[in-house]
Amino acid sequence: MPGDVLLTRIEQFSAAHRLFVRGLSDQENFKLFDKCSRENGHGHNYKVEIRVKGKVDAQTGMVMDLGVLKKNIQSVIDQVDHTFLDKDVPFFADKPSTVENICIFFWEQLKDTLPPGVKMNKVKVYETDKNVAAYKG
């Protein structure tokens, strides 16, 4: 029987954010996050790669329908697109909106939406072309 196949869907969203730790002073936050801690925030056009893993169904030829994966991801994108992450998205109410935590956010939101036998494999988020994080659960 053939092995597992990796299937990836790539999406984008735009959001504002500010890197800071609640409970630390402005000075302490500036020491940690420099310009990214400024109160007015700043924005990114994020790219998100969602990779799932499973067997190819002999009849359909699919690990899962990419259309279903697209809808599932879109419902997560809708929670963050054109928001101020730290103010508008409850997940970031108690943790900094780093690119690392954004990976974990997508993983947590998507992990229970997959069909039987299909598992999350990797979430990769590009904050900029140069700043990228990946999470494998």
Ligand X SMILES: Nc1nc2c(c(=O)[nH]1)N=C([C@H](O)[C@H](O)COP(=O)(O)OP(=O)(O)OP(=O)(O)O)CN2
The residues annotated as belonging to the active site are 36, 82, 127
Tokens of 23: 């409970």
Residue number with the shortest CB distance to ligand X? 98
Residue type, 121: N
* Contact residues: ligand X, CB under 6 A: 19, 36, 42, 98-100, 127-128, 130-131
Element (H, E) at 32: helix 26-33
Closest contact distance (angstroms) between CB of 122 and ligand X is: 17
> Is the separation of the CB atoms in 80 and 89 below 8 Å?
yes
Q: What angle do CA 123, 129, 133 make, to 5 degrees?
A: 30
- Choice between 39 and 130, CB closer to ligand X: 130
Closest contact distance (angstroms) between CB of 19 and ligand X is: 6
CA 60 to chain centre: 28
DSSP states along 45-88: EEEEEEEEEEPPPTTT--SS-HHHHHHHHHHHHHHHTTEEHHHH
- Choice between 52 and 127, CB closer to ligand X: 127
Closest contact distance (angstroms) between CB of 55 and ligand X is: 35
- Choice between 29 and 98, CB closer to ligand X: 98
